[in-house]
C-alpha cells in the first residue's frame, strides 16, 4: 500500500515563487510515489485574512494554482479545509490532549509575543485565540487523514512535530493505534528562497514574485531584483547573486553551469542574467499560467472540483471520526 503525503497551503495572498519551490513543487513531485492529500487551509488563514471578498479570492487563487501546476483531483484528495466539519471536531478533541505549554512554545505565537514585548506592548496584544491555538487545528488536519509524511517549509517543522507528539500520546493513552504518526519532510535545497531584495521571499517583506505573471509584468518584476553595481565587462560571482540563486532553483544542472561560466567570464550584464531567469521561468511556468487564468475566469469549474473533493474527503473524515468518538466514548 502506498503511503500518504499531506500538506496544506494557507490562502493569505497570491501564491509566489517561494510557495511554489518550497511547498507546491515538492508536494507534486511526491504524488508520483505517494497517495496525496493536499488542501486549502482557509480556516488557518482566518487568523489574519478577515475580509470575506479577500478570503474568497485568495481561496480561488490557491486552488487554481494547485490545479494549473498539475494536481490531479481524481487522484488522492483535494479539498478546502472549511468544507470538512470533522476536522474542527477533531481539533477540539485533540486540544484536550495537548499541553498548553506546547502552544506557548509555538514559534508563530512566541515571535509575536517577543515583538510585542520589544515594543513595550502587552505581550498578547493582537494575538487572537486562532493564532494561539493554530497548532491544534494543524494537528487535526494532519492526523485526520493518516498522513505518513508532511512536506513543509522549515518554519512548519515544529507544527508537524507537535502532531507527532499528540498522535503518540493519544494512542498511548487509549492503548490503540488510532492515529498514524506523521513525519515532516523538509525541502533543504529550497530552504531559503531569495526574494527581490535577497531576504527570504515572504509576503511580509514585500519582496515576492508571483508564480503567474504575464511576460511583461514578469520582466518588470525581475528588473527589481537587487544586484550589485558591477559593470557589464566585469567578471561576476554567481553564488552571491540573487538572480543566479533563483535561476539555479529552476534551471537544469547544465543550464546552471553554463550561466555560472558566463558570470565568471565577464561581458555579461545584469539585464542578460535577468533575461535568462525570465526564459527559464517562462519555460517552466508559461503553460500552467494559461490554465491558471482560465480557471480564475471560470471559478465555477473550481467550485465543481472542490465539491467533488469535499465529498471524497468526507467519506474518510467521517470514518476517522467514528473511530475517534468510539475511542472517546462520545457515542
Ligand atoms: N501552517 C501551514 C503554513 O502556514 C499551512 C498548513 C495548515 C499545513 N495545515 C497544514 C501544512 C497541515 C501542512 C499540514 O504554511
CA-angle at 155, arms to 101 and 88, nearest 5°: 60
User: What does the block give as the cell for 188?
Assistant: 533543504
Closest protein CA for atom 11 of ligand 1:
8
Residue 324's pLDDT is what? 98
Domain 212-291: homologous superfamily in CATH: Tyrosyl-Transfer RNA Synthetase (1.10.240.10)
Q: What is the pTM of this model?
A: 0.94
Ligand 1 centroid–CA 23 distance in Å is 10
Task: Please tell me if the CB atom of residue 146 comes closer than 6 angstroms to any atom of ligand 1.
Answer: no
Residue 190's pLDDT is what? 66
Closest protein CA for atom 13 of ligand 1:
7
Q: Are 68 and 285 in contact (CB under 8 A)?
A: no
Task: Please tell me if the CB atom of residue 141 comes closer than 6 angstroms to any atom of ligand 1.
Answer: yes
Matching residue, cell 527570504: 200
User: What does the block give as the cell for 105?
Assistant: 512554545
Task: Please tell me if the CB atom of residue 47 comes closer than 6 angstroms to any atom of ligand 1.
Answer: no
Q: What is the number of residues in the chain?
A: 331
108 three-class SS? helix
- Does 112 participate in catalysis according to the annotation? yes
Parse the chain into domains and list their residue ranges.
4-193+299-328, 212-291
Q: Are 243 and 261 in contact (CB under 8 A)?
A: no
CB atoms near residue 167 (< 10 Å): 23
Q: Are 11 and 65 in contact (CB under 8 A)?
A: no
**In which region does residue 70 sit, left (phi positive, over 0), alpha (psi from -120 to 50) or beta (all else)?**
left
Residue 41's pLDDT is what? 98
Residue 191's pLDDT is what? 65
Q: Are 159 and 102 in contact (CB under 8 A)?
A: no
- Does 80 participate in catalysis according to the annotation? no
**Per-residue pLDDT for the chain (331 aa), expressed as one digit of tens each?**
899 999 999 999 999 999 999 889 999 999 999 999 999 999 999 999 999 999 999 999 999 999 999 999 999 999 999 999 999 999 999 999 999 999 999 999 999 999 999 999 999 999 999 999 999 999 999 999 999 999 998 889 999 999 999 999 999 999 999 999 999 999 776 667 999 999 999 888 999 999 999 999 999 999 999 999 999 999 999 999 999 999 999 999 999 999 999 999 999 999 999 999 999 999 999 999 999 999 999 999 999 999 999 999 999 999 999 999 999 999 9
Widest pairwise Cα distance in the chain? 76
Q: Are 211 and 229 in contact (CB under 8 A)?
A: no
Considering the segment(s) 4-193+299-328 as one domain, its CATH architecture is 3-Layer(aba) Sandwich (3.40)
- Does 200 participate in catalysis according to the annotation? yes
Distance between CA atoms of residues 201 and 16, nearest Å: 8
Nearest to 112 by CA among 51, 200, 16, 48: 48
**Bridge partners for 194 per DSSP:** 200
Distance between CA atoms of residues 168 and 55, nearest Å: 34
Amino acid at each position: 500500500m502506498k503511503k500518504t503525503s499531506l500538506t496544506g497551503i494557507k490562502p493569505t495572498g497570491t501564491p509566489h515563487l517561494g510557495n511554489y519551490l518550497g511547498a507546491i513543487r515538492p508536494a507534486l513531485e511526491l504524488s508520483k510515489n505517494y497517495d496525496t492529500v493536499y488542501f486549502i487551509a482557509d480556516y488557518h488563514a482566518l487568523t489574519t485574512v478577515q475580509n470575506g471578498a479577500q478570503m474568497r479570492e485568495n481561496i480561488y487563487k490557491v486552488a487554481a494554482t494547485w490545479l494549473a501546476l498539475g494536481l490531479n483531483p481524481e487522484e488522492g484528495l483535494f479539498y478546502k479545509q472549511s468544507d470538512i466539519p470533522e476536522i474542527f471536531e477533531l481539533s477540539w478533541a485533540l486540544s484536550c490532549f495537548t499541553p498548553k505549554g506546547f502552544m506557548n512554545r509555538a514559534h508563530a505565537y512566541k515571535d509575536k509575543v517577543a515583538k510585542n514585548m520589544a515594543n513595550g506592548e502587552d505581550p498578547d496584544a493582537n494575538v487572537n485565540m486562532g493564532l494561539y491555538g493554530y497548532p491544534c487545528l494543524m494537528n487535526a488536519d494532519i492526523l485526520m487523514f493518516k498522513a505518513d509524511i508532511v512536506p513543509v517549509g522549515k518554519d512548519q517543522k515544529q507544527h508537524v512535530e507537535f502532531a507527532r507528539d499528540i498522535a503518540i500520546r493519544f494512542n498511548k493513552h487509549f492503548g490503540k493505534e488510532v492515529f498514524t504518526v506523521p513525519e515532516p519532510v523538509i525541502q533543504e535545497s529550497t530552504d531559503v528562497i531569495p526574494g527581490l531584495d535577497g531576504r527570504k521571499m515572504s509576503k511580509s517583506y514585500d519582496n515576492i514574485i508571483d508564480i503567474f505573471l504575464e511576460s511583461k509584468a514578469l520582466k518588470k518584476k525581475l528588473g527589481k531584483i537587487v544586484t550589485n553595481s558591477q559593470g557589464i565587462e566585469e567578471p561576476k560571482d554567481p553564488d552571491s547573486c540573487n538572480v543566479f540563486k533563483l535561476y539555479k532553483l529552476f534551471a537544469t544542472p547544465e543550464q546552471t553551469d553554463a550561466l555560472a561560466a558566463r558570470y565568471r567570464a565577464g561581458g555579461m550584464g545584469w539585464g542578460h542574467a535577468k533575461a535568462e531567469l525570465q526564459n527559464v521561468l517562462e519555460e517552466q511556468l508559461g503553460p500552467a499560467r494559461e490554465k491558471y487564468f482560465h480557471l480564475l475566469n471560470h471559478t465555477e469549474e473550481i467550485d465543481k472540483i472542490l465539491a467533488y473533493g469535499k465529498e471524497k474527503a468526507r467519506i474518510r473524515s467521517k470514518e476517522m471520526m467514528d473511530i475517534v468518538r468510539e475511542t472517546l466514548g462520545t457515542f
